[in-house]
Chain A
Amino acid sequence: MNAPTDVLLEALDVTLEYDDGSRRVRAVDGVSFTLARGMFLGLVGPSGSGKSSLMFLLAGLRPPSSGEVRLLGKPLPASPDASASARREHVGFLFQEPFLVPYLSVRENALGHTTDAQASARLDELAAEIGMADKLEERPHRLSGGERQRASLLRALANDPELVLADEPTANLDQTTGRAVIDLLRRQTRAKGLLVVTHDPSMLTGADRVLFLRDGRLVEG
């Protein structure tokens, strides 16, 4: 199943340094790993260990100071604007906050960035599977925290991406709701790649592999 052609995401010795005025902060330090299709990869680390920084590197939103990120076998261009179309087409995102547009319905939030004609049918199906079928026409302010995160899950999956990157998707949710969101996420990405970043290892019980990050470096768990 993990044939080389099925490698979705590769980090090759990537480093990210921030120039924080007086001092240089090495937020990500020589990280390498691969994420293959069908794989649920977990990334754990304490606050400030560089999880989000790594995530932005993988998404092409920050150019690495050194090293390379490959998405579907192709190196990501250095500029976030140049990698935008690849991001939109192949990657779904979940963040700590749902970032729903307040004046759009759940359906419109999800469809706003889809690029294919089947998106709406797929969305109805997805919504039914994650218990959001009756919320599709609601505006975000009428939803609970868990429902909002599920709405942003719909947005992340609406374009049928190959890969889902989730940065602390459960940090704002209680334990039970958080677990439910991760389970839904896992179920919906069985045929895709999934990377979940969290400071809470208990969220990663179903993961195929868990990486530990400390001070920007991967350490053995």
Chain B
Amino acid sequence: MDAAATGRAARRALSPWTYLLRNPRRILPLFGIQALVTCLLVLIITPTNAFEATAEANVRPLEIFTIVSPRLRREFDEELLAVLDANPHQQERVRAKMLWVRTPMIVGEGYAPLIALPVEVRDAFLKRVELTLVDGRLPEPGEDGAVLHEAVVRARGMKLGDKFGQLIDPTDPTPGRFTLVGTLAGESRMGIADFAYADQPFFVLARRDPFQVVYANAGAKDASDAYLHAATQEDGESAFRVVDDDYVRGRIEANLKNLPLILGFITFSVAIVVALVIALLNMIAFQVRVDEFGLLLAIGHARRRLVGKLAAEAFAVAATGWLVGLALGLLGVWIYDQVWLAPQGILLRVLDPRPLLFSMSVPVLSTLTGAIALARRLRRMDPVAVIQRRGV
């Protein structure tokens, strides 16, 4: 053996990997617990992004247009329309009715907009929001037909010809009655109905607030929304109720406000328990290595270096356990998404940085507690006692 090979052999003898790979049965519980917990954390944390992912898709149409209704008055009278048209950033506005369609989410439900539009503006509208008809047809004028986003249709388990609305099911938050006549595809989750139908006098939908769909000039959506929020009527009262993307997003964020805190708390609690278990298992596993370390101390190995070796071993187990747990968790989330969520129209981001960051506390804390426990054990170790077998 040459000098380099000697160095390698000497290093290998004390390398953490040599111990880990040659003592699989002692390492497996340590590795397994950390991999399992990491995997479970990924499986628990990742699906919580389905709230945001689905809600985000429901908000997307409102990044393209803004919906306005009178705040105090029953109708858009001439004064209110004049205030609207004084908006320098407005490109166009369309009379509409705004309803909401319930869509099941991973927990509870969300709402996608259903907008009743006059037939003549419909095609231009679909183009603006980048939706295309993929099945069935668009509603005829005066007909109760509605087209919904394919994900909403899938999530609600509907097929063409199905009827929905409060008149069909009293628990349905969509007022009136509609028949599904077609499905839309695209990034924005929304549906379209016919304005003439929704605006019939004496029909229940006529009681709904009147709306205007406002399109801003290119790049001026924020300025236009600001104008609408600030607009006042004659008596100085603010004129409109404005539903824009900021408004809806704010409500979603308010609903999810405590989620990161709760996830952090859960993860941290789990990580602490795991870390304590790991420290305990490390101590137990160390019992059979008392001779090994007693001898190394006796023949002159520096205590600091031996602590380093034990810490490196704890870290190697924790890091590999974490990586394997992440991989398994990702695989699990992907399967969950494919088999369960996607068919229900629930959006999920499989690759989410949060479980990665949160679950990192498992290997970090485990390495720390494991290394600290072993370091204390080693610091108190008397090599003479090991050699003399007087107990340690």
Contacts and interface: CB of A to CB of B under 8 A. Distances in A.
Interface string A98-110: 0101011001110
Interface in A67-111: 80-81, 83-89, 91-93, 95, 97, 99, 101, 103-104, 107-109, 111
A61 B295 contact: no
A179 interface: no
Given A85-B300, A121-B1, A99 B10 contact: no
Contact of B384 (A56, A97, A101): A56
Interface in A103-132: 103-104, 107-109, 111-114, 117-121, 124
B384 to A, nearest CB: 5
Interface residues of B, number: 31
Contacts of B303: 81, 84
Interface stretch (B17-25, B37-45, B104-112): B17-25
B300 A118 contact: no
A117 B11 CA distance: 12
Given A99-B291, A103-B22, A120-B1, A108 B6 contact: no
B357 interface: no
Given A95-B387, A108-B13, A118-B3, A113 B298 contact: no
Interface in B366-392: 383-384, 387-388
B19 A103 contact: yes
Nearest to A105: B13
A62 B384 CA distance: 8
B296 interface: yes
Interface string B189-221: 000000000000000000000000000000000
12 contacts: A59-B298, A84-B303, A85-B302, A87-B299, A91-B300, A93-B299, A103-B22, A113-B300, A113-B301, A114-B6, A118-B3, A120-B9
Interface of B: 1, 3-7, 9-10, 12-14, 18-19, 22-23, 291-292, 294-303, 383-384, 387-388
Interface of A: 52, 56, 59, 61-62, 80-81, 83-89, 91-93, 95, 97, 99, 101, 103-104, 107-109, 111-114, 117-121, 124, 155, 167
